[in-house]
């Protein structure tokens, strides 16, 4: 994630995306419920999903950016710290400290591992155009090879 605009701006953007995802989740819950109160149920009955996803997204992005700014490094440890913060939010919603600590440990280790192995960033974008073309040719074969070969 690019931190050139600041971690607070990144957190606000991701929080808005999280609210959008929460709206989709809330709508889906409202559609699937057996006693649907209508369209108002999206915000009244299942509306807490919107806020939860917005908070989780904002906390994750903000913690990741702030951690990178404090540590002067942008690496997998920041993702682990942010995963722990997001896990704490999810766990505390259940009003259970063991749940919060468990979710913190799970999200911290899993998201940190994914980022460590290059899963949250696209490393191919860091290569030059020539290197990307060489990799593409090695994976998909030579450019001049015909698709249909007529062997009689």
Residue 143 is predicted with a pLDDT of 58
Is the pLDDT assigned to residue 144 strictly greater than 80?
Answer: no
Q: How many CB atoms lie within 10 A of CB 125?
A: 7
Q: How far is Cα 106 from Cα 74, in angstroms, rounded to an integer?
A: 21
Query: What are φ and ψ of residue 142, in 5° steps?
Result: -70, 155
Residue 122 is predicted with a pLDDT of 66
Average pLDDT over residues 130-145: 74
The pTM of the whole model exceeds 0.85: no
Q: How far is Cα 79 from Cα 121, in angstroms, rounded to an integer?
A: 11
Is the pLDDT assigned to residue 89 strictly greater than 60?
Answer: yes
* CB of 82 closer than 8 Å to CB of 57: no
Q: How far is Cα 109 from Cα 64, in angstroms, rounded to an integer?
A: 14
């Amino acid at each position: 994630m690019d931190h050139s605009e600041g971690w607070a701006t990144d957190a606000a953007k991701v929080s808005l995306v999280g609210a959008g995802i929460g709206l989709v989740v809330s709508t889906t819950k409202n559609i699937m419920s057996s006693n649907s109160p209508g369209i108002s149920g999206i915000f009244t009955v299942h509306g807490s999903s919107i806020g939860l996803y917005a908070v989780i997204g904002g906390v994750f992005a903000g913690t990741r950016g702030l951690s990178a700014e404090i540590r002067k490094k942008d690496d997998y440890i920041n993702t682990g710290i942010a995963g722990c913060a997001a896990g704490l939010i999810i766990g505390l919603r259940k009003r259970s400290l063991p749940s919060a600590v468990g979710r913190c440990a799970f999200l911290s280790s899993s998201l940190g591992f994914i980022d460590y192995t290059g899963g949250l960033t696209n490393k191919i974008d860091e290569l030059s155009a020539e290197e990307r073309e060489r990799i593409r040719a090695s994976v998909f074969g030579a450019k001049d090879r015909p698709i249909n070969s007529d062997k009689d």
